[in-house]
Structure 1
Amino acid sequence: MLQARLDSVNEAIANIEGGAQSYTLNGRTLTRGSLNALYAERDRLEMRIAIAANGGRGFKAKYRGRS
């Protein structure tokens, strides 16, 4: 389910980057979501997928120079 949503977001990003931000059909204009919102959603989905692949555990950050 998460991967399918990520695929949809990536497709929307590719469409917008390819010039399909908005179009007009029968006098009505449709504008797709903003790239910034789509990038943020992609980052969120990628993180959720990575956490799920890690057994549901988050990631532990390591800081250099600190004990």
Structure 2
Amino acid sequence: MVRGDRLYDFVVILDWNFRSRARHRGSAIFFHIAKPDYPPTEGCIAVAPKDMMKIGPLLRSGRRLVVER
């Protein structure tokens, strides 16, 4: 996944429609860098680059990432 705007320079694939795929449920939900001014995503979770730099080192395989509204 390559983008010119660098939003996917750091991406975590979340377990949505990943292990048990179903048609018409979307391809995936990602945790990635936000656009300036935080416009809505297409269903992903996006954070500022500075926040990703804090969160990224804490992520490990098997670690659970909980996103609350």
Whether the TM-score (by the shorter chain) exceeds 0.5 is no
**Larger relative contact order (CA 8 Å, sep ≥ 6):** 1
Between structures 1 and 2, the one with greater helix share? 1
TM-score, normalization by structure 1? 0.28
TM-score, normalization by structure 2? 0.27
